[in-house]
Amino acid sequence: MVAVILFLAITSAFHLHFMLLAGDWDFWTDWKDRQYWVTLTPIVAITFPAALHYVFWEKFRLPFGATFAIVCLIFGEWMNRYFGFHVWSYFPFSEIWPATMIPGAIVLDVVLLLTGNFFLTAVIGGIGFALLFYPANWPMLAAYHLPMEVMNSVVSVADYIGYTFTRTATPEYLRFIERGTLRTFGGHSAWVASFFAGFVCMLMYFAWWYLGMLLTKVVTVPNKFKQLMGLKKDPRPSSEQLAV
């Protein structure tokens, strides 16, 4: 029962955090571009895995905090896609599937298990988490580049989906991305964006590891309402009691 409550609590918090910060880039297939999607998604997704790394590793010596957090996120995303987008709004799954980050999370866990050091995990695992994001999702994106014939014209599967499910602003967004400055790096904008995301992921890992440490500290607060209710204050422990 405790495990189920923990799973649902992390799923809710991580899913809300991810949807607020990475929203449209992960909602729609045609927003999964080679620049902002590759940059933003790993940076937002490494937060909860870093915080859970501290809790699971420092408190219980369990090396699967990152994989557990990502599985919670993907479970929440699929519930959102199925009930909110597919059942409620009739969008096909080919237009709304969420990205996967499980390979990067496994690398984070393995580095922490082998080194036992959060600094090396941030440097090696953080970069690996960002660099593995694009290739891990490429098998799902590749099918959209296959050619097909529609009304005696050859188009890609992605183009045909765009013609069928027209949404405003998407074509303008893609034209803006394809003319971005990263296209000058030999056309390999995805890898340039991935290395930048890896650098930021290192910093985010440090910040959220420290946040996980702060949130697990036990702090007691004196009950001031006891005096208002006519009760006596808690006696302060003597120096001899503290020494014992």
Mean pLDDT value across residues 50-68: 91
For the ranges 23-37, 69-83, 218-232, the lowest mean pLDDT is seen at 218-232
Tell me the average pLDDT of the chain.
82
Please determine, for residue 44, whether its predicted confidence score (pLDDT) is greater than 60. yes
- Three-class DSSP category at 179: coil
33/41 Cα distance (integer angstroms) = 11
Supply the DSSP symbol for 210: H
State the pLDDT at residue 23. 78
Q: Does position 176 have pLDDT exceeding 70, yes or no? A: no
Q: What's the rounded Cα separation, in Å, for the pair 18 and 63?
A: 23
CA 144 from centre of chain: 24
- Angle between the 36-45 and 2-27 helix axes, to the nearest 10 degrees? 160
* 160 neighbors 154 (Cβ within 8 angstroms): no
Instruction: List beta partners, residue 148.
Output: 155
Distance CA 230, CA 242 (A): 27
Please give the residue that has the higher pLDDT: either 182 or 226. Answer: 226
CA 1 to chain centre: 25
User: What pLDDT does 109 receive?
Assistant: 93
Contacts 24+ apart (CB under 8 A), 117-125: 118/53, 118/54, 118/57, 118/205, 118/209, 121/53, 121/205, 122/50, 122/202, 122/205, 122/206, 122/209, 123/202, 125/66, 125/205
What predicted TM-score, i.e. pTM, was given to this entire model?
A: 0.79
